[in-house]
Structure 1
Amino acid sequence: MINLTGNGLTLENMRAIIYQNEQVCLDEHAIEKVVNSRKAVEKIVKDQRTVYGINTGFGKFSDVSIEEADTRALQLYLIRSHACGVGEPFDEIVSRAMIVLRLNALLKGFSGIRLEVLERLAYMVNNRIHPVIPEQGSLGASGDLAPLAHLALVLIGEGFVWQEEKHIPSREIWKKHHLQPIILEAKEGLALINGTQAMTAQGVINWLESATLAYQSEWIAAMTMEALHGITDAFHPAVHEARGYPQQVEVALRVLKWLEGSKLVTKQGEKRVQDAYSLRCIPQIHGASWQVLDYVKEKLEIEMNAATDNPLIVENGELVISGGNFHGQPIAFAMDFLKIGIAELANVSERRIERLVNPQLNEGLPPFLSPQPGLQSGAMILQYAAASLVSENKTLAHPASVDSIPSSANQEDHVSMGTIGARHASLIIQNARRVLAIEVFCAMQGVEYRGIDLMSPTLLEKWHSMRAFIPSITEDRIFSVDVEKLNIYLKEETVNKKGKQVLS
């Protein structure tokens, strides 16, 4: 059980909640702040003070006053009108993450929402009631309005939820659980949708998958080192300490750990003096991607614990301030940066694939790893597929955050496009994982030709675990099946592994 306080939520907490279905509960001190914040809203309504989003319209309609009798209708219309997301739905785990993050933000006690609404959100997490949320339609400022409106629809008994990969009307789910839909009171609709939780939820999934993939890229590269008789001198700690980047030092140490006991790798001068950059510079290239991941982690963990709605109720309700914490610029930049870091892991992996299959570069391995070169093409077109994926990534890596289109009659005249960046980062991660799946497929074949009895014991264990479902290339077959099996194998480690693991 993870106690949500509005502060201190970590990416590892999110891994447990998202993938291991850890339950959540509401912190008692946070509940007190929520209750006090709600009292402040009720006093504003009673005193007929004019406050944005409580008794005014929204966006450009902020100068339109709303009668007290219409405050409920105002919130209902807000949710319905803003639920205009389009396209395919976010993955169900992103929807789950979105509920957790919105709940954690509201527990900070700045939003004026009733405790019963937060209790219902917690109930949704603990009972796996996940809204169906279209992934397109957010500008990433004024909050992720459209995605979060689809989340809020479920609370009020509208919209759809995931049930065994089907979309079920939410009203049916509440009936099944013997619960009534929530009737939103003053400010509550706005409190639910004004935030960055769509881009941040996708960003959390992106980071968890990327960190796993970055570790996997190291043992995959190490296996390629074995297949190509790579030179280990370039990984000596002194080389990397001389430069000073801790991530670079750590990658070099981890790769050497994977290669311990290997009789396939070489020393400089035994076969050649130095390797190509895609082998020799693994610590520098992969280490730089780890620098990106560290930056992104810092920004995500701040945003995961941030009050991002508007207006904020402060000083025990005496002050209600319209600000701009819903603007997604920090996460937009972080997601665009992540795109580059992960795309680069795929770029260098594709170059290693080329070295594994190219007879002019692969140190005597069969051309294209073919069992009968000429008659059978072997892994030739696998390199084509990898080249296609990394090229697509280069297009997706164009920064979404450099664009902005004004909205709400120019009241909201600069937006972050951070949710687009987060979605594109997810696509890059999927592409990069498949490139690495192709590399390990080729590396497995390469070390088999060299002699698996000469492999590092830890890499040999990896080789055996994959050979259990990926047969050797004895004749040409439909290799896309193998790549997808390896893709699933790599993806499942995000679910099953926790924290930094050198060997898995």
Structure 2
Amino acid sequence: MSLPQVRVKISSLYEDLKKSRQEFEKDSSAVLNSRKIVENALQDGNTYYGINTGFGALANQRILGEQLTQLQRNLILSHSVGVGNLVPKDISRLILQLKIHALCIGCSGISMETLQRLLYFLDHDLIPVIPEKGSVGASGDLAPLAHMSLPLLGFGQFWNEEGTDTIEASTILSAHNLEPVELQAKDGLSLINGTQLMSAYGAYILEKALYLLKVSDVASAMSLEALQGSIKPFDERIHQVRPHKGQLEVAENIRFLLRNSEILESHRHCGKVQDPYCLRCVPQVHGASRDALRHSIETLQTEINSVTDNPLVFENGDIISGGNFHGQPLALALDYAKIALAELASISERRTYLLLEGHDGLPKLLMQKTGINSGFMIPQYTSAALVSENKVLCHPSSVDSIPTSLGQEDHVSMGSISALHLLKVYENVETVLAIELFTAAQALDFRKPLKPGEGVEKAHKAIREAIPHATEDHYFKDDINIAQRLIRERKLIQNLDGEEYHLH
């Protein structure tokens, strides 16, 4: 049974895909062997779906002779019906990389000429332009992958270098002295059958989510310190008697971030009994999201190291039609990931709200002079709006199905919709956490000269180096943008001077 030469992991996504590309250069025998099986099959007189037949509801129509290459060309052209906004260049590149990775496993029977052209595109950063909508998440991401394949034929567009504009594919091919590819039997079907749009969105977001989980723990620790919350709910013994892995990890992270806190010591015997849930239940809530995302990541890792086109070509010469293109595993996992990420924002917004109420010596709205100043009131509105939007986006796309192909494809996953919504949810969560970070930093300033825990203090310093303490109303949108950039550039955890390895 064929297996990928390099198993790609979400945590090392881009490095592993680069290794996979390099391994193919060393050994392309699996691809060559599968292609030879397809070529032999064309001579044996038998019928093979999509190789010498029509597609979908037209599977019973036999195609012969010179029409075989026209069949594959027509497949790409007829399926290029995507609409809507364009998939961002980074994700389009990942779609191309994941398609190449799957084809190189050697169960697709693609011709080497076509595969080599895809590799040329990747190596020269010629990234096809792909509309985001048009896939129903079964039979593969047909329309998006057809658009990915259009430049092979000289149609469609590529992204410019910056990913800000598009260029006609014919113009780029001419500049590179390339002629359009003549697709061989099975090539078109190998290209557009597959779950690479769903997989690319999922992998792109979940790789970032691994870092965002750490950010959410840092933000909650900062808010806990600023609100003079108790460290008792993070006692290891509490979590050992309910040992969900994510819960244990988060509790340990908070204990690490609050290590040697002067603020904690100052109110250790204050008499408060319990904090609100948004502080006290951070391990349980963040931890549950971690465990859900862990499951989604496992599903994505299986998928991106799989062959998801149809029919499949096996080493013994068998060519078998099946349903590996069906996106149901991804649709469910991506819906689950949406919910898990949304909950990080939901509890974060509650902590932001709490910071504004004026508890335990903090000024209301985190400014001394309010009335003329609205203080930090309105950034919380933005958080509330984004949290509410996520509730709509988190409706599970996977519970829907509309038959296609004249009923031949009578159950579809709609996982592509899950994927598109997951990106929006992630962006909203990132913004909500960014708002909590600079709001908590403002609140922590009022606890001076007492110092917070060592990890919190370093995170606070990273924020203050980019966003100054606010004494009056100003253009808060700049603060949001800067805090988002700190998250995206992964500088917040870097500021722990290598100690990020203590954070799970």
TM score, norm. by length of structure 1: 0.94
Does 1:270 find its partner at 2:270? Answer: yes
CA change 1:72–1:177 in 2 (3 A) is same
Aligned to 2:334: 335
Aligned to 1:288: 288
SS in 2 for 1:88: strand
Aligned to 1:197: 196
Aligned to 1:129: 126
Contact kept, 8 Å, 1:30 with 1:108, in 2: the verdict is no
SS in 2 for 1:378: coil
CA change 1:322–1:460 in 2 (3 A) is same
User: Residue deviations 1:251-301, cap 9 Å, x none?
Assistant: 111111111121112566424122111111111110101101110111011
Aligned to 2:374: 377
SS in 1 for 2:261: coil
The CA deviation at 1:68 is 1.3
Contact kept, 8 Å, 1:452 with 1:460, in 2: the verdict is no
Contact kept, 8 Å, 1:131 with 1:160, in 2: the verdict is yes
The CA deviation at 1:175 is 2.6
Contact kept, 8 Å, 1:34 with 1:109, in 2: the verdict is yes
Query: How far apart in 1 are the matches of 2:44 and 2:27?
Result: 26
Q: Name the amino acid aligned to 1:60.
A: A
Q: Name the amino acid aligned to 1:248.
A: Q
Q: Name the amino acid aligned to 1:40.
A: I
The CA deviation at 1:468 is 2.1
Paired residue total? 496
SS in 2 for 1:306: coil
The CA deviation at 1:33 is 1.5
Matches within 5 A, 1:357-436: 357-359=356-358, 362-436=359-433
Aligned to 1:279: 279
Aligned to 1:461: 458
Query: How far apart in 1 are the matches of 2:327 and 2:487?
Result: 31
SS in 2 for 1:438: helix
Structure 2 stretches of 5 or more lacking a match? none
Aligned to 2:471: 474
CA change 1:291–1:452 in 2 (3 A) is farther
Contact kept, 8 Å, 1:6 with 1:104, in 2: the verdict is no
SS in 2 for 1:46: coil
Does 1:87 find its partner at 2:97? Answer: no
Aligned to 2:234: 235
Query: How far apart in 2 are the matches of 1:272 and 1:285?
Result: 22
User: Residue deviations 1:381-414, cap 9 Å, x none?
Assistant: 1111111110000110000000000000010000
Aligned to 2:49: 52
The CA deviation at 1:455 is 2.1
CA change 1:33–1:80 in 2 (3 A) is same
Query: How far apart in 2 are the matches of 1:499 and 1:314?
Result: 48
The CA deviation at 1:184 is 0.6
Query: How far apart in 2 are the matches of 1:320 and 1:71?
Result: 17
Query: How far apart in 2 are the matches of 1:503 and 1:346?
Result: 20
User: Residue deviations 1:20-44, cap 9 Å, x none?
Assistant: x889324368621211111111122
Query: How far apart in 2 are the matches of 1:280 and 1:460?
Result: 20
Query: How far apart in 2 are the matches of 1:12 and 1:123?
Result: 26
Aligned to 2:314: 314
The CA deviation at 1:174 is 2.4
Aligned to 1:69: 66
Aligned to 2:35: 38
The CA deviation at 1:447 is 0.4
Contact kept, 8 Å, 1:353 with 1:383, in 2: the verdict is yes
Aligned to 1:212: 211
The CA deviation at 1:315 is 4.2
Q: Name the amino acid aligned to 1:272.
A: K
* Runs of 4 or more above 6 Å deviation: 494-500
Contact kept, 8 Å, 2:215 with 2:493, in 1: the verdict is no
Query: How far apart in 2 are the matches of 1:374 and 1:66?
Result: 77
Name which of structure 1's ranges 298-307 and 369-378 shifts more when overlaid on structure 2.
369-378
Contact kept, 8 Å, 2:205 with 2:426, in 1: the verdict is yes
Contact kept, 8 Å, 2:109 with 2:190, in 1: the verdict is yes
SS in 2 for 1:76: helix
Structure 1 stretches of 5 or more lacking a match? none
Contact kept, 8 Å, 2:20 with 2:101, in 1: the verdict is no
The CA deviation at 1:324 is 0.4
The CA deviation at 1:227 is 0.5
Contact kept, 8 Å, 1:144 with 1:195, in 2: the verdict is yes
SS in 1 for 2:490: helix
Query: How far apart in 2 are the matches of 1:174 and 1:398?
Result: 42
Name which of structure 1's ranges 265-274 and 22-31 shifts more when overlaid on structure 2.
22-31
Query: How far apart in 1 are the matches of 2:459 and 2:55?
Result: 56
The CA deviation at 1:369 is 0.8
The CA deviation at 1:64 is 1.1
Query: How far apart in 2 are the matches of 1:375 and 1:270?
Result: 34
SS in 2 for 1:454: coil
Contact kept, 8 Å, 1:112 with 1:313, in 2: the verdict is yes
Q: Name the amino acid aligned to 1:306.
A: S
Name which of structure 1's ranges 372-381 and 72-81 shifts more when overlaid on structure 2.
372-381
User: Residue deviations 1:447-494, cap 9 Å, x none?
Assistant: 001116512233222222222221211110121221122112212229
SS in 2 for 1:71: helix
The CA deviation at 1:422 is 1.0
Does 1:96 find its partner at 2:90? Answer: no
Query: How far apart in 1 are the matches of 2:181 and 2:278?
Result: 56
The CA deviation at 1:205 is 0.8
Query: How far apart in 2 are the matches of 1:262 and 1:301?
Result: 39
Contact kept, 8 Å, 2:5 with 2:20, in 1: the verdict is no
Query: How far apart in 2 are the matches of 1:461 and 1:180?
Result: 55
Contact kept, 8 Å, 2:9 with 2:16, in 1: the verdict is no
Percent identity of equivalent pairs:
43
User: Residue deviations 1:32-70, cap 9 Å, x none?
Assistant: 121111111112222332111011111001111112111
Contact kept, 8 Å, 1:88 with 1:135, in 2: the verdict is yes
Query: How far apart in 2 are the matches of 1:314 and 1:199?
Result: 25
SS in 1 for 2:229: coil
Name which of structure 1's ranges 9-18 and 494-503 shifts more when overlaid on structure 2.
494-503
The CA deviation at 1:124 is 2.2
Contact kept, 8 Å, 1:24 with 1:125, in 2: the verdict is no
SS in 1 for 2:412: coil
CA change 1:22–1:436 in 2 (3 A) is farther
Aligned to 2:302: 302
Contact kept, 8 Å, 1:37 with 1:113, in 2: the verdict is yes
